Amino acid sequence: MRRSRRLLAAAVAALTTTLLALTPLGGAQVAHAATLFSDDFSGGDLAGWSRSGGTWSVVSDDSPALQQARDGTDARLFAGDASWADQAVQARVKPLTLPGNGLVALLARASGATSYYRLAVLPGDQVRLEAVRSGRVTPLGTVSHPVTVGSWHTLRIEVAGTVVRGWVDGVPVGTGTGTLTATGRIGVQTAYATARFDDVVVTRGDTAPTSAPPTPTATPTVASPSPTASPTDTAPPSSPPPTSPTPTPTGTAPGDGSSVVAPDGSGDFTSVQAAVDAVPTGNTRRHTITIEPGTYREVVSVPADKPYVSFVGSTGDARDVVIVYDNASGTPKPGGGTYGTSGSATVTVDGNDFTARHLTFANDFDEAAHDYSAEQAVAVLTRADRLVFDDVRFLGNQDTLYHNSASVDAVGRAYFRDCYVEGDVDFVFGRGTGVFDRCEIRSLDRGSTSNNGYVTAPSTMIGNPYGLLFTGCTLTTDSAAAQSVHLGRPWHPSGNVDAIGQAVFRDSVLGAHVKDSPWSDMSGFSWRDARFFEYRNSGPGSTVTTDRPQLTDAQASTYTPQRYLAGTDGWNPVP
């Protein structure tokens, strides 16, 4: 029989008060409550788990086990309830691949896809306890412990109030004081690594132990040395320390107005646009619109006179909240004419200091069902400045993400962190300045053996040194043929000779679908006159040829996220 899944809230509450028991623990006495969640994956599926990246499945090991099989990406899987407070999380972990920039981890009290406590197995026999907030890592403790790839190890995190403790194979990793939110789910994670997980158990613990937890049921496969659980200021390879000052918060407005959108009427509004319409014109305070799970089929516009607006998916899983529509450039308008590329957008952002987290923007225009002369179909159009998209999915085909600015003389900056963007032709395009940090950029298959499209089509104005930067990203495909996708081509809107596209792909993993000669001409303009560069990419699609301009080390130091986004006001949203 499969171990029981998440218990009903009422049962948990009752058991928490009636089943507390003191358990001997190496001389210490620790209070433990009923099991909140357990999974040994014997059911063969991922029921009860929600995915954020990666390729997850249940496979056969010494027993059924959870596997994440995609390397070169940051993959997380979450379970449990966002209301969980004090908790003890334990799991068996088997790293399958663990490269120099990789990690395999157990997560506790996750308040979102990028904020949680983490116990991470790192290369070089290092295990580290960390607090991660919006991707920024604070080490809480570390221990040198033999970690064998291909062998099982037991990880355990206990969080009680602000006290966080971790163990690996019964050896203390460290103890720290955390300042993350007081409640959250649990999870597992790999970054640029592959691994298996099994026997995940979550219990409610009202008192954190003062010594090692009970001996794991799975005997460690290696001996454990004496711990040295002292704090360290060194961040793991997958989360490098910031190279600039602490981030400036998006928007400087004090206070926080809020509203809730829910399709069942349980919130303040049933549509996202209605919530935007209710934000005061000329507002000087941030207004957070929390969006409950559902598919919202509507066109949404955030006007220029409504800055400081935030869209936040309530569950922390970007797949749970979808804002979608299906207009294309050639779609007839009710009053005559067609929508055009800009008018096709499902969501248009003209208000400065907009943020979006944990949701999906999509345009599901069906190309096969229509025969329009213009089939560009935009999911999101941005024409504002200082925008942050965190754990957001952008879904479409041609022209998915139109990152623009308010005018040819204006700079529109946006930071895309841990996002997913998919499409085929020119699916990241425009004159905006955009940084894509640790994102998955997925090219869809158009059925060609030689040309399945173009990732970018920047139209950066010649006076702007910074266009599109992809750093630490992974370029993937669903099934496009090898050597069939271009990195980009230069877009000159209306033949504007001053639109000299700028794009850099650096420190990223490029799949085999990327061409050896990845840049292409467009509308009579040569790509060689554009500002296209690469730097230190890896993967089968990263072969350096004479048609692939590379930055020097000195040049690369000026093409960083902070440089792209600083502008004249020093804006820095980068963790």
Q: Total domain count for the chain? A: 2
- The answer to whether 153 touches 169, Cβ cutoff 8 Å, is yes
* Residues 182 and 309 both lie in one domain: no
Per-residue pLDDT at 34 = 59
Q: At CA 322, angle to CA 320 and CA 323, rounded to 5?
A: 155
User: What local confidence, expressed as pLDDT, does residue 171 receive?
Assistant: 87
Q: 145 lies in a domain? A: yes
Q: Is residue 546 part of a domain?
A: yes
Residue 408 has a pLDDT of 95
Task: Check: CB of residue 551 under 8 Å from CB of residue 537.
Answer: no
Query: What pLDDT does residue 507 have?
Result: 95
**φ/ψ (deg, to 5) at 528:** -70, -20
Q: Which residues are catalytic?
A: 399, 426
Looking up residue 67, the CATH number of its domain turns out to be 2.60.120.560
Last residue of a domain, one of 171, 203, 235: 203
Report yes or no on whether pTM surpasses 0.95.
no
Residues 312, 199, single domain; the answer is no
Tally: H helices and E strands in the chain? 5, 40
CATH number of domain containing 419: 2.160.20.10
| Both tokens assigned to 48 | 């009860």
The phi and psi torsions of 407 (rounded to 5 degrees) equal -160, 170
pLDDT along the chain (575 residues), means of 10: 36 35 28 69 88 86 90 87 90 93 93 89 92 83 89 93 90 85 91 93 59 39 32 33 34 62 95 96 93 97 97 93 97 94 98 97 94 94 97 97 97 96 98 97 96 98 97 95 98 96 97 97 97 96 96 96 95 91
Structure tokens at 107: 């997560």
Provide the pLDDT for residue 430. Answer: 98
User: What is the radius of gyration, based on Cα positions, of the chain?
Assistant: 24
User: Where in the sequence is the domain holding 422, given as residue range(s)?
Assistant: 304-566
Query: Does residue 365 fall inside a structural domain?
Result: yes
